[in-house]
Structure 1
Amino acid sequence: MVTAARSGPDKSARVTIRDVAQRVGVSSASVSYAMSGRPGVSGDLRDRVLAAAEELGYRPNKVAQQLRRGRTDAVGLLFADIANPFYPDLASGVIAAATVEGFEVFVSNVGINGERQTEAAMAQLDRNSAGLLFTSVADQDRDLLESLTRRGVPFVQLHRVLEGTAADSVVVDNLAAARELAQHVAGTGRKRVAVLGGAGASSVSRDREQGFRQGLAMAGATIVNEDGLWGALTRESGAARARALLSTGQQVDAVLCGNDMIAVGVLDVCRERGLRVPEDLAVAGFDDMSFSSAGPLQLTTVTVPREMMGRRGFELLLRRIQGHDGPPERVVLPHTLQVRETTG
């Protein structure tokens, strides 16, 4: 049997710079210089190289190029719980801004309690990520962030912030927003208010708890559950804590929640027990998730511009990657109180 000899590169394999060089009859270095626009290459040679590359279907191996210069055009985004709608919304902002600049975004889920924060950050750096975006830092991450600072790794804190860390950050004024929400709820005549916050290790949860406390005090209202302030930012946690609270028999006029997920859990329990909202119990959330204004829910809450937070965070990180060495910048985004039917 006679077989025909194949000419040119194997069509099943990726076309390399060597294939282009063979087609033109020059060295691989000459092709590299021509394609990168470096001086010393004639216009005629550059035209022949580009024509051969197009004919062969050659695409530069960007990963290899990036690895040679010690980093990739990619950043790492680390967050706590992909099931929490807050984080996908924030991630969409990061990805949109990164795409415009030709960057990829590698996403890592560090666990609700942040137990994989260090492991995930190191894995991102092993991929030669150019910088990191943290959304879920807590007190136990201080050593990690200080280590990254010493190593010169650019990073930005989004949403949650460790005070005293020399890094850019993008936040909302959670204390002021929570104070405004609490004043609204107390202003509807609610005087005995429960607070179901998030994790006590989170700067966001602590600021919201302090804001709730200040707003209620200013209106002459009191917190009735000092022993039950902290918990997970989940619907299940909201329901479990609401059941425990209502089972004590103490009078409760309203519940201020650390996020909208907790508030939905509280509303679940209200339906279980036949409590009317807001007539028997007012309920307010935080973050203004997409479901908060859907259908009959109409949850009173505070809008946090999550997508904008992601966009601004990437912009700050890119500036650091490109060499900016000015002092840390904190960007405070606007929030909006959304008064809906669950507070009357």
Structure 2
Amino acid sequence: VYDQGEISDETRQRVQRAIEELGYKPNIVARSLITGKTNTIALFVAEIETPFLLRVQRGIEPVARGHNYNVILFSVSDTADEVKGLEVMRQQRVDGVILNSISLQQDNSHILDFCRTGIPLVAVNRYGLDDSVCQIIWDDETASTEAVLHFVRLGHRRIAHIGGPMERHSSHCRLQGYKRGLEQAGLPCQDKYIIHGDYLYPGGYNATLSLLEIDPPPTAIFVANDVMAVACLAAVQRSGRRVPDDVAIIGVGGEVFTQYTTPTLTTISIPTAEAGRRAAEMLLAQINDEPIPETRIVLPASLTVRESCGGQPLDAFDPVALFAEEDQRSGTFDLRRVPDPASAYQPAGTPPSD
């Protein structure tokens, strides 16, 4: 009944037929006492209404169901909630935990303490953990650098950034990627062009209005998530400016709705569903005492180019020559006047050629 013990395939099939004919439903509590498993995985999430996080969940659930595991959601708003939630999961003896709550919290002692209980745990996009904790992360910083360099290839020099709340590690990584992109392009990082939002529509909208009041205003805005980027798009258009003619925009997340804005939104596509799938597989491997080749998996993010940037980026350019041709009125550049480049552009993270 509980698929335990060494029995022949013939006997197993006969028992299974009897179960189906009688409509027998095993007692879950009794089964957990016999097997030592509850067949339950806890998924910790922050801001459960965020589409970005829900896509991670969609990657987890099919894998869990395929192995007869149920997934229960535990919503947390801060580290204190996370600490309490892990204690609840320990008492309820779930078979494993996937931690998809987002924080810049550097003290991860509560996570390490939980791992020492022997209950398997996988952290998704959580930084500051050592390799003793299984984790799936994506490369926010490199992708953000590539977004800025895409703007540069299009001729932009005044590139602004609408960041997320700095208690989120993703906000920190995207800000660092933005700064690195400017540095690689030989552009100064100006504090006036950096404003932090809240990852929600109002924050993106209000931050954009503030940026547009700067003299001179930015001609390109890198926004730390797609929700704020859509609000940024609306704010630019309502100000009487055109996207991408006056202001180009790139978001982060790869949300489905970015395909249906006018113009469609260029975005950094993050493999959230794959991260969820890989996290579930890694957790089940721990539960079943299977070997795990690597405890830290880094997934690449990629730039999905759509209409909100416009133009055709240069495949190669010399930033010094390009910026020497600056149009002082618009802050953009006449790419037709750029001399034949002496060196080729390489995406962030690409090693130099020999």
TM-score (norm 2): 0.78
CA contact (8 A) 1:80 1:135 kept: yes
Aligned partner of 1:255 in structure 2 is: 221
Alignment equivalent of 1:305, drawn from 235, 246, 271? 271
Which residue is equivalent to 1:158? 124
Query: Which secondary structure state, in structure 2, belongs to the residue aligned with residue 298 of structure 1?
Result: coil
Identity, % of aligned pairs?
A: 29
Residue 73 of structure 1 corresponds to 39
Correspondences of 1:199-278 after superposition (within 5 Å): 199-225=165-191, 228-278=194-244
Amino acid at match of 2:97: L
SS at match of 1:285: strand
In structure 2, the CA distance between the partners of 1:268 and 1:49, relative to structure 1 (3 Å rule), is closer
Deviates more, 1:244-253 or 1:100-109: 244-253
| 2:103 maps to 1:138 | yes
Q: CA deviation at 1:90?
A: 0.9
Work out which of the residue numbers 74, 95, 98 in structure 1 matches 2:64: 98
Which one-letter code corresponds to 2:60 in the other structure?
A: V
Contact 1:80 1:114 in 2 (8 A): no
Q: Match of 1:314, as an amino acid?
A: A
Separation in structure 1 between the aligned mates of residue 11 and residue 118 of structure 2, nearest angstrom: 41
- 1:13-52 matches, within 5 Å, as 35-36=1-2
Aligned-partner SS, 2:116: helix
Distance in 2, matches of 1:263 and 1:146, equals 36
Give the number of the structure whose alpha-carbon radius of gyration is greater: 1
Check 1:325–1:53 CA distance in 2 against 1; reply closer, same or farther (3 A cut).
Answer: closer
Is structure 2 residue 42 aligned with structure 1 residue 59? Answer: no
| Total equivalences in the alignment | 309
2:93 alignment partner in structure 1: 128
Offset, 1:86: 0.7
Name the CA distance, whole Å, in 2 between partners of 1:215 and 1:248: 22
Structure 1 unpaired stretches of 5+? 1-34
Q: Closer, same or farther in 2 for the Cα pair 1:165/1:81, shift >3 Å?
A: farther
- Determine the C-alpha separation between the residues in 2 that align with 1:275 and 1:56: 70
Distance of 1:44 and 1:330 partners within structure 2: 42
Long gaps (5+) in structure 2: 311-354
> Is 1:176 matched with 2:142?
yes
Deviation for aligned residue 1:116: 2.3
Q: Using the TM superposition, give the Cα deviation of residue 51 of structure 1 relative to its aligned residue in structure 2, in angstroms.
A: 7.3
In the aligned structure 1, how far is the partner of 2:146 from the partner of 2:171? Answer: 15
More helix per residue = 1
Aligned to 2:339: none
**In 2, are the aligned partners of 1:171 and 1:331 still within 8 Å (CA)?**
yes
Q: Residue 191 in 1 paired to residue 178 in 2?
A: no
Q: 1:120 aligns to what SS in structure 2?
A: helix
| C-alpha contact (below 8 Å) 2:159/2:218 kept by paired residues | yes
**Matched residues in 1 for 2:212 and 2:168: separation?**
26
CA distance in 2, matches of 1:68, 1:100: 22
Residue-by-residue CA offset, 1:171-213 (whole Å, 9 max, x unaligned): 2221111111110012211111211122323332222211111
Query: Partner residue of 2:114?
Result: 148
The whole-number CA distance in structure 2 between the counterparts of 1:209 and 1:94 is 28
CA displacement, residues 34-68 of structure 1 (integer Å, 9 cap, x when unaligned): x4577799999999977775554321112431145
What residue identity is the alignment partner of 2:32?
A: Q
1:306-325 equivalences under 5 Å are 306-324=272-290
CA distance in 1, matches of 2:237, 2:203: 16
* Contact in 1 for aligned 2:285/2:292 (Cα 8 Å): no
Give the CA deviation at 1:309: 0.8
Separation in 1, partners of 2:25, 2:124: 36
Q: Work out the CA distance in 1 between the residues paired with 2:150 and 2:142.
A: 12
